[in-house]
Amino acid sequence: MDTKFEFLPGAEDRIAYVRPVEVADLPRELRDQAHGAQIVYAVHDAAGERLALVRDKRLAFVLARQNDRTSVHVH
């Protein structure tokens, strides 16, 4: 009874990881665009590639959903 079943093929590719990023850790050109924010939120794909940086955590989750991705918060 330990049979593996691929429930949703390709679903792992549709995950978006959302994590907070300190603006101070970003390259200068991105820090200049932060307009005083201390924290921004990065949206990454399953392979770890950064897809977007947004100012608001809620917006990061909305962005993931609008692009047919399941969002997961990373600490």
Beta bridge partners of 8: none
Note the pLDDT tens digit of each residue in 11-47: 557 899 999 999 999 999 999 999 899 999 999 998 9
Domain membership flag for residue 8: no
The answer to whether residues 19 and 42 touch, using CB atoms and an 8 Å cutoff, is yes
Q: Does 7 fall in a domain? A: no
- pTM (predicted TM-score): 0.79
User: In sequence order, what are the residues at sequence separation of 6 or more whose Cβ sits closer than 8 angstroms to the Cβ of residue 40?
Assistant: 20, 21, 23, 26, 34, 53, 54, 55
Tell me the C-alpha distance between 53 and 41, whole Å.
6
Domain range enclosing 57: 13-73
Q: Is the pLDDT of residue 64 over 70?
A: yes
- Is residue 39 assigned to a domain? yes
**For residue 9, pLDDT beyond 80:** no
User: Is 6 a member of any domain?
Assistant: no
